[in-house]
């Protein structure tokens, strides 16, 4: 007879064996959160991945945040602070990333001179950065 298990148990087992799948799941969950603002669903996704990577105690050791605080953060109805979210994601092997939204009406447009190559302009900006000299 086939053993039945919950979807979350399946995901936990899968993510324990495939970190890239766990990261894709977190990325998808964060993208969905930006659309529907469903904080409990985002935190459930985080808890699922945390469980797959050893649980709260392992995460607490990696982040320096107490297990009690992590449990409260991940079971809250409120979104975690961005620095806390970043710390948790770093401990899980990923990071927050800012990227443009495809097809979105942006509040600002980059200034471009006619005929200017964007890569050349960036390279010129980089050349102006002064690197500290180590003695």
Whether residue 6 has pLDDT greater than 60: yes
Contact 43, 30 (CB under 8 A): no
> Measuring CA to CA, which residue among 41, 42, 58, 40 is closest to residue 50?
58
Confidence of residue 132 (pLDDT cuts 50, 70, 90): low
Contacts of 19 (CB under 8 A, 6+ apart): 93
Answer left, alpha or beta for residue 114, where phi above 0 means left and psi between -120 and 50 means alpha.
beta
pTM greater than 0.75 (yes/no): no
Could you give the CA distance from residue 129 to residue 135 in angstroms, rounded to a whole number? 19
Whether residue 55 has pLDDT greater than 90: yes
Predicted confidence at residue 105, as pLDDT, reads 74
Which range among 50-54, 115-119, 124-128 has the greatest average pLDDT?
50-54
Predicted confidence at residue 127, as pLDDT, reads 64
Contact 13, 51 (CB under 8 A): no
pLDDT digits (tens, 9 = 90+) for 71-112: 999 999 999 999 999 999 999 999 988 888 777 776 666 665
Confidence of residue 36 (pLDDT cuts 50, 70, 90): very high
> Measuring CA to CA, which residue among 34, 59, 60, 33 is closest to residue 44?
33
What average pLDDT does this structure show over 107-134?
62
- Owner of token pair 């980059």: 110
């Amino acid at each position: 007879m086939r053993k039945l298990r919950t979807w979350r148990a399946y995901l936990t087992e899968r993510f324990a064996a495939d970190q890239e799948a766990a990261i894709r799941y977190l990325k998808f969950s964060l993208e969905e959160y930006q659309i529907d603002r469903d904080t409990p669903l985002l935190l459930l996704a985080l808890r699922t991945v945390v469980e797959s990577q050893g649980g709260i105690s392992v995460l607490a050791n990696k982040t320096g945040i107490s297990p009690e605080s992590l449990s409260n953060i991940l079971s809250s109805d409120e979104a975690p602070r961005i620095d806390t979210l970043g710390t948790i994601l770093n401990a899980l092997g990923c990071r927050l990333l800012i990227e443009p939204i495809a097809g979105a009406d942006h509040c600002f447009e980059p200034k471009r001179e006619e005929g200017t190559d964007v890569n050349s302009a960036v390279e010129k900006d980089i050349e102006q950065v002064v690197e500290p000299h180590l003695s």
